[in-house]
């Protein structure tokens, strides 16, 4: 569970360090490389979108909780500029990765619209995506998400497919 230092973001050295830690773990321990999962919440959700976008071939599935893709005043864009919206560019790259998005409807820290837009972009491409919006829940949507037997079971059922 790597943590990005305060005032940093996952696209810089912390993202590289997280991937290096994953590589070391896979080398040191017996791992099923077809069942490597990416998950994060809040800024870690942003990091999940960013790392998933740039390294989609590595992950069997993603769970993104109250993450953001769009531009934020203190964080760089998740994806390089190009045609379409950032959500469309991320969705195009991740269209073959199973993803479950969770967001609290009353989140004051990360607007719920971030997850709504990302889910819509994925579903428009026929991606294997699910979206759960938690009514009346604020920023702490991770307690419900990680506490959900259905979400955890779903994650462990996923295997990476080469596409």
Per residue, the 3-state secondary structure of 91-118, as one string, reads: HHHHCCCCEEEEEECCCCCCCCHHHHHH
- The string of pLDDT tens digits covering residues 123-140 is 999 999 999 999 999 999
- What is the three-class DSSP state of 37? strand
List domains and CATH numbers for the chain.
Answer: 33-157 (3.40.50.1820)
Q: What is the DSSP letter of 4?
A: P
- The string of pLDDT tens digits covering residues 44-60 is 999 999 999 999 999 99
- Tokens in use for 46? 């942003």
3-state helix, strand, coil in the chain (%, to 5): 40, 15, 45
For residues 156 and 31, is the Cβ–Cβ distance under 8 A?
no
pTM to 2 decimal places: 0.92
pLDDT at 81: 82
- The string of pLDDT tens digits covering residues 91-123 is 999 999 999 999 999 999 999 999 999 999 999
Measured CA distances, 147 to 142, 143, 151, 153 (Å): 8, 6, 8, 11
């Amino acid at each position: 569970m790597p943590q990005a230092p305060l005032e940093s973001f996952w696209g810089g050295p912390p993202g590289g360090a997280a991937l290096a830690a994953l590589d070391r773990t896979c080398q040191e321990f017996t791992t099923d490389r077809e069942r490597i999962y990416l998950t994060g919440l809040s800024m870690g959700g942003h990091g999940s979108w960013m790392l998933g976008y740039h390294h989609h071939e590595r992950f069997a599935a993603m769970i993104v909780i109250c993450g953001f893709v769009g531009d934020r005043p203190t964080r760089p864009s998740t994806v390089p500029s190009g045609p379409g919206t950032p959500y469309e560019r991320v969705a195009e790259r991740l269209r073959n990765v199973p993803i479950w998005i969770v967001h609290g409807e009353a989140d004051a820290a990360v607007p719920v619209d971030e997850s709504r837009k990302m889910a819509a972009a994925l579903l428009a491409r026929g991606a294997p995506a699910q979206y759960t919006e938690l009514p009346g829940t604020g920023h702490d949507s991770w307690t419900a998400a990680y506490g959900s037997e259905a979400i955890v079971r779903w994650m462990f059922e996923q295997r990476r497919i080469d596409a």
